[in-house]
A and B are shown apart, each in its own frame.
Chain A
Amino acid sequence: MKKAKSILFYALMFLLSFAMIFPFLWMISTSLKYDSQVFTTPIEWIPDPVNLSNYVKVWTEEPFLIFYKNTAFVAVFATAGQVIISAMAAYAFAKMKFTGKNVVFGLYLATMMVPWHTIMIPQYQIISKLHLTDTHLALILGQLASAFGIFLLRQFFMTVPDELVEAARIDGAGEGRTFAQIMLPQAKPALATLIIFTFIQVWNDYMAPLIYLNTKEKYTIQLGLKFFQSEHTMQYTIIMAGTVCALIPILIIFLVFEKQITNGMVHSGLKG
């Protein structure tokens, strides 16, 4: 009786998880079909014959390679910039004494309450005053101010014992060296979490590229995918191949760092 119940329970769970991953399975299956195979009833999960030409087209005839390069460029520099700026500020907030510290930290945290939609228009105007619209630099700059990153790292730096920092200071290490040689190595897990989060967030970002970029050669992958699918309205197989390509880097990162990502998201709380 108990065993039957448990089998039933697992069956239910597998059914639910199938519902969750159904769209992904359908995407992969469709990307490997010919157009004529798409709308068959019942769904033909493993296409016969398998068609790989959609992928070839996406990489050779379509500008996906350019989208990839652009996105990687923005993601790498935005992540690096955000992490360095956040780590420096977080260290000061966690381990230093200076006038006005709490006021500034409070102001930073308060920005978490403001939705991006509220500031995107003035942000756009500032970027345009700097003559940076339609550049990747605009996208990078827009990612640098992160209260979340500062908060996350500060929480971690607080757990590093003060004695460790004091000892380094007594040994004559300047703040720069204490930060780089004592703090940063201690904070590797938190830094890794922030790097992964920021990278995924920038890679998946759609609205900022949408308002800043005009030239197709500069598109990031999300913006590129959106226009790619509107250019190929009814060509399901090739759109799905493009979507698979847009998703793969994030899926790989997710599968490799699964534990870190899920734990990090939960324990750092906020960040929708």
Chain B
Amino acid sequence: MAKQAVKRSRRKLKQNLIGWGFILPSLIVFFLFMFLPIVLGFWYSLTDYTGLSKDYQFIGLQNYIKMFSDRYFKVSIKNNCIYAVWFSVLTMLVSLILASLLNRLMRFRKFFRIAFFLPYISSMVSVAVIWKMIFNPQGGPLNTILEQIGISNPPQWLASTTWALYAVIIVSVWKNCGYYMMIFLAGLQNVPDSLYEAAALDGAGRLQQYFKITLPLISPTIFLNLILVTINSFQVFDLVSVMTDGGPGMSTNVLAYRIYYEGFKSMHMGYASAIAYFLFAVILVITIFQFVAQKYWVNYD
């Protein structure tokens, strides 16, 4: 008996050693580049760390308090909220419409799939560079087209403090809608045809079928996309950095840009870390809220 127990515990020890051996490389990199930074970042956010000098002090919640009297931070929140609302709503709508159209196609499916997915797979920097030129108010193709169709005074886009943020939103929706479209498409393809046939027999029109059958049935997919799109809307950086550098003025300053600027340009790494944790909290709260709210509208059967 005892011999068997020893044997068993020895086998267990061996299993543990091998198991931990296999995850050891991942443990090292996760510890160094994930867990440690998560803790360290929070610590920085409670200090006046500049990033340059070695001595810095614990200042409690002062960075967090300072945020709410910082004009630049407040503007970046406002911009980011405007961006998030427009980006989320438009991306959801456009990608759902595209997916619904694509789902009805019989031919050229592959061509359309490639065309709509192309912007998503391209790098943010390259599409930002292209769009920067398309938006050029003096002779850029967009305003040329707008003038041709009779808009005599088209917006100045990236040169205008009112329009720059919307220009970024347009590019963002164009760039990302293909991805969400693909997820919607997968959801739509799971809706059984028999349901539509039954509804058609009952005399339901196309539009009625769409709102009464399709949308409720794909509500889990809508929920998934909504979560992803809102999380992403608080992480916009590359586009802003390449297209506008946060300007003109402060008009396209968003949270991630603020973190970058305070941390690596102004060398206020403690303060930047506080904003970074604020960003994390915002994303967390919104996600939790959406998970609570889904009970009332997502249909899982």
Contacts and interface: CB of A to CB of B under 8 A. Distances in A.
| Chain A: number of interface residues, binned into ranges | 35 or more
Residue of A24, A118, A246 with most partner-chain B CB within 10 A: A118
Nearest to A239: B129
A89 B19 contact: no
Nearest to A255: B114
A211 B133 contact: no
A17 interface: yes
Given A92-B23, A269-B224, A122 B273 contact: yes
A246 B123 contact: yes
B276 interface: yes
A171 to B, nearest CB: 17
Contacts of A111: 30, 34-35, 38
Contact of B108 (A10, A211, A239, A255): A10
B213 interface: no
Contacts of B107: 10
Interface string B63-89: 000000000000000000000000000
A113 B281 CA distance: 10
A216 interface: no
A111 B33 CA distance: 11
A81 B74 CA distance: 40
Contacts of A1: none
B29 A91 contact: no
Tier of interface size on chain B: 35 or more
Interface stretch (A140-148, A158-166, A184-192): A140-148
B263 A99 contact: no
From DSSP, what is the main secondary structure of chain B's interface residues?
Answer: helix
Contacts of A265: 179, 182
Contacts of A30: 133
Contact of B124 (A9, A204, A239, A240): A204
Nearest to A128: B51
A267 interface: yes
Interface in B214-261: 224, 228, 231-232, 234-235, 237-238, 241-242, 255-256, 259-260
Interface stretch (B97-105, B152-160, B195-203, B290-298): B97-105
A177 interface: no
A114 B185 CA distance: 28
Contact of B22 (A9, A92, A107): A92
B136 to A, nearest CB: 8
Given A20-B178, A125-B51, A246-B123, A117 B237 contact: yes
Nearest to A98: B19
A150 B32 CA distance: 17
Most buried by B among A123, A240, A269: A123
A258 interface: yes
Interface string A205-231: 011001100000000001101100100
Contacts of B110: 258
Interface in A85-130: 85-86, 88-89, 91-93, 96-101, 104, 107-108, 111, 113-126
Nearest to A222: B125
A98 B18 contact: yes
Interface string A164-186: 00000000000100010000000
Contacts of B90: none
A136 to B, nearest CB: 16
A55 to B, nearest CB: 16
A254 B121 CA distance: 7
Interface string B1-27: 000000000000001101110110111
B194 interface: no
Contact of B113 (A21, A258, A267, A269): A258
B26 A123 contact: no
Given A43-B141, A236-B133, A272-B231, A117 B279 contact: yes
Contacts of A92: 19, 22-23
Nearest to B242: A226
13 contacts: A9-B101, A16-B101, A23-B131, A88-B25, A104-B27, A118-B41, A121-B51, A141-B32, A204-B125, A229-B242, A243-B129, A247-B122, A251-B122
Given A10-B105, A211-B260, A269-B224, 8 more contacts: A43-B141, A98-B20, A111-B34, A114-B38, A117-B235, A117-B279, A247-B123, A254-B121
Interface of A: 9-10, 12-13, 16-17, 20-21, 23-24, 26-27, 30, 38-39, 41-43, 84-86, 88-89, 91-93, 96-101, 104, 107-108, 111, 113-126, 141-142, 144-145, 150, 175, 179, 200, 203-204, 206-207, 210-211, 222-223, 225-226, 229, 236, 239-240, 243, 246-247, 250-251, 254-255, 258, 261-262, 265-267, 269-270, 272
